[in-house]
Amino acid sequence: MTSSTLAISVATAWLAVGLVVGAALLRRGAGAPAALAAVVVWPAMVSLLASGPALRDIAGPYGAHITAAFTALRAAAADAALAGVLDPVAITAVEVALRQADLRLAAADRLLADPAVAADDGAGRLVSARAHAAEQIEATLRQLVTVRVQVGLVALAGDTGPVRAHLAELAARARALAEVA
């Protein structure tokens, strides 16, 4: 086997694995940009294929709002005039962090539904922490609308810096939700 045949075989295998990972990401609810990125950078995307049901299939109290917000954001990102403005990996990271925070909120709701927990002296702290986490999720969802407005401005002006900075800020805010709990 010559070196060029070996290189072609390795490249073909790499792309084939990338296609499989991309298809699996699509089935698990990742957006098309993330699935396309997986074709080339599949080793970085494999972690999104964690075992268990797809995160989008498990919803807490804000699940429908999160789905709607990210569907709209991915639709804006898919617009041909806005190609490359939004990083699909960053979008997915924010979505995963929000969905995880939403699941923790649902767990707090289940605990608070237990009369024994609700009657405990420490329940007030749980109620307060739950309210704070809910406020942060709502604020992040509102900021996603602002990102879409900024994406529209990029279509007119062409400056992607503010959008990327805002998305990075949202990613940090969503990661901070894990610390709130």
pLDDT value, residue 180: 54
Nearest Cα to Cα of residue 111 among 131, 129, 126: 126
Stretch 109-113: mean pLDDT, rounded?
A: 92
* The pLDDT of residue 56 is above 60: no
Stretch 75-84: mean pLDDT, rounded?
A: 78
Counting residues of the chain whose pLDDT is more than 70, the rounded percentage is 85
Give the distance from CA 45 to its chain's centroid: 13
pLDDT value, residue 113: 92
Digit-coded pLDDT (tens) for 128-176: 999 999 999 999 999 999 888 888 877 777 777 777 787 788 878 777 7
Return the ∠ at Cα 97 (arms to 26 and 138), rounded to 5°. 110
* The pLDDT of residue 109 is above 90: yes
Amino acid at 52: G
Give the distance from CA 101 to its chain's centroid: 11
Q: Which one has a higher pLDDT value, 117 or 55?
A: 117
Digit-coded pLDDT (tens) for 7-18: 788 778 777 777
Stretch 54-82: mean pLDDT, rounded?
A: 81
Q: What is the DSSP string of 139-156?
A: HHHHHHHHHHHHHHHHHH
Digit-coded pLDDT (tens) for 160-169: 777 778 778 8
Dist CA 43 CA 20 (whole Å): 12
* The pLDDT of residue 63 is above 80: yes
Counting residues of the chain whose pLDDT is more than 90, the rounded percentage is 23
* The pLDDT of residue 51 is above 60: no
- Under the banding of pLDDT at 50, 70 and 90, the label for residue 94 is confident
